[in-house]
Amino acid sequence: MLPSSMKAVVCHGVGDYRLEEVPIPEVGPDEVLVRIDATGVCASDVKAAHGAGRIWGSDEFPAYIQPPVIPGHEFVGTVVALGEGAEAKHGVSLGDRAIAEQIVPCWQCRFCRRGQYWMCEQHDIFGFRQRAQGSWAEYMKFPADSVVHKVPADLPVEIAALIEPLACAIHAVERASIELDDTVVIAGMGPIGLCMLQVARLKSPASLIALDVREKRLEVAARLGADLVLSPVKEDVIARVMDLTEGYGCDVYIEVTGSPKGVHQGLQMIRKLGRFVEFSVMAEPATVDWSIIGDQKELDILGAHLGPYAYPKAIRFLQDGSVDGKALVTHTLPLEDFAEALAIAEKGDDSLKVVMLP
């Protein structure tokens, strides 16, 4: 018998996050209720808490966030209730460990009908939209339209909470179409950047270079497979990469710094006809000279959003050790300490992935 209420963090506005007692969601047809086992703190959660324009919206960009909403889109849970038809539709049973993909597609728009569900026009993302309440809670409902995956019971819950960011990393790396002779630069060694690094390593490029301003993160990158680690605050990384590539520049540049400086740096560092993958959610606009993209270098500029068709791979990589999840989870805290979790994630000096255990 489930209780009638649960503890949940509720976002009411910029900087207005409260731990509240709220009703446990009721499940309808094809819906799944899970007890949250672990939930991560993403850089986008930190930016949302501080009112980043691209997340809260502006005259130019619609808002991601529809308060009041429970944040959290990195999670794993145990199935505790199933609506009529949910077991057959989603392939999970009571007691199974499960995850839903970050977006709840509408399945009616042009993109969903074409199988491009991650670009759904309605775009209900867990932790940001009212139809997709998030995981910073004791329980969470997967709506009927969710894309659900069963998670192996032997995968530790704090590692399983990495499935969503790893799926995003896989999608970004696949967008880059890395070839065997490529020099690949990944800028930003946060948790997703370190996931990208490990996935890119599986592609066996000729050279894999990691960039970050934090020395400790570069140390982790070196342990996880970077051939070379460089700090923009210690040396001219553009000149170094140009020197290493006979003056041509890197073949692939993946931007995951979250800073406009990372975009400028990449456009200078990448070779003509190179592939530039933009992943970051920027807190502010990045302004660049577009003639570099067209007239000077004829670059392929590729966006990467969410982790479509990548969750089974992410689960497999974490389970078989192709991606080292233990190296990424540095802090675990109870849900009640969500404010501290956000502060640790924001500071980032001694942390990589912060996970809460409701």
Averaged over 28-44, what is the pLDDT?
A: 97
Residue 324 structure tokens: 């080292």
Share of the chain above pLDDT 90, in %: 91
Question: pLDDT tens digits for 183-231?
Answer: 999 999 999 999 999 999 999 999 999 999 999 999 999 999 999 999 9
- Position 51 scores a pLDDT of 82
More confident residue, 44 or 328: 328
Question: pLDDT tens digits for 222-254?
Answer: 999 999 999 999 999 999 999 999 999 999 999
More confident residue, 287 or 298: 298
- Position 1 scores a pLDDT of 81
Q: What string of DSSP letters covers 262-316?
A: HHHHHHHHEEEEEEEEE----SS-----HHIIIIIT--EEEE--S-TT-HHHHHH
Question: pLDDT tens digits for 149-176?
Answer: 999 999 999 999 999 999 999 999 999 9
Residues of each domain in the chain carrying CATH 3.90.180.10? 5-162+328-357
Averaged over 71-100, what is the pLDDT?
A: 98
Superfamily of domain 5-162+328-357: Medium-chain alcohol dehydrogenases, catalytic domain (3.90.180.10)
Residue 54 in this model has a pLDDT that exceeds 90: no
Place of tokens 């967008």: 175
Residue 335 in this model has a pLDDT that exceeds 80: yes
Share of the chain above pLDDT 70, in %: 98
Closest CA to 163 of 43, 316, 332: 316
CA distance 26 to 23: 9
CA distance 161 to 159: 5
- Position 26 scores a pLDDT of 96
Angle between helices 215-223 and 191-202 (to 10 degrees): 30
Q: What string of DSSP letters covers 215-280?
A: HHHHHHHHHTT-SEEE-TTTS-HHHHHHHHTTTS-EEEEEE-SSSHHHHHHHHHHEEEEEEEEE--
Residues of each domain in the chain carrying CATH 3.40.50.720? 169-303
Place of tokens 């819906």: 31
Within a 10 A sphere around the Cβ of 199, how many other Cβ atoms? 26
- Position 82 scores a pLDDT of 98
- Position 234 scores a pLDDT of 97
- Position 350 scores a pLDDT of 86
Question: pLDDT tens digits for 110-127?
Answer: 999 999 999 999 999 999
Question: pLDDT tens digits for 60-76?
Answer: 777 788 999 999 999 99
Residue 283 in this model has a pLDDT that exceeds 80: no
Give the pLDDT band (50/70/90) at residue 24. very high
CA distance 197 to 188: 10
- Position 56 scores a pLDDT of 77
Place of tokens 């995956």: 149
Phi, psi of 90 (to 5 degrees): -100, -10
Give the pLDDT band (50/70/90) at residue 50. confident
Beta strands across the sheet bearing 183-187:
228-230, 207-211, 183-187, 250-255, 270-278, 300-303
CA distance 119 to 321: 30
- Tell which CATH architecture fits domain 169-303: 3-Layer(aba) Sandwich (3.40)
Say if strands 5-13 and 16-23 run parallel, antiparallel, or are unpaired.
Answer: antiparallel
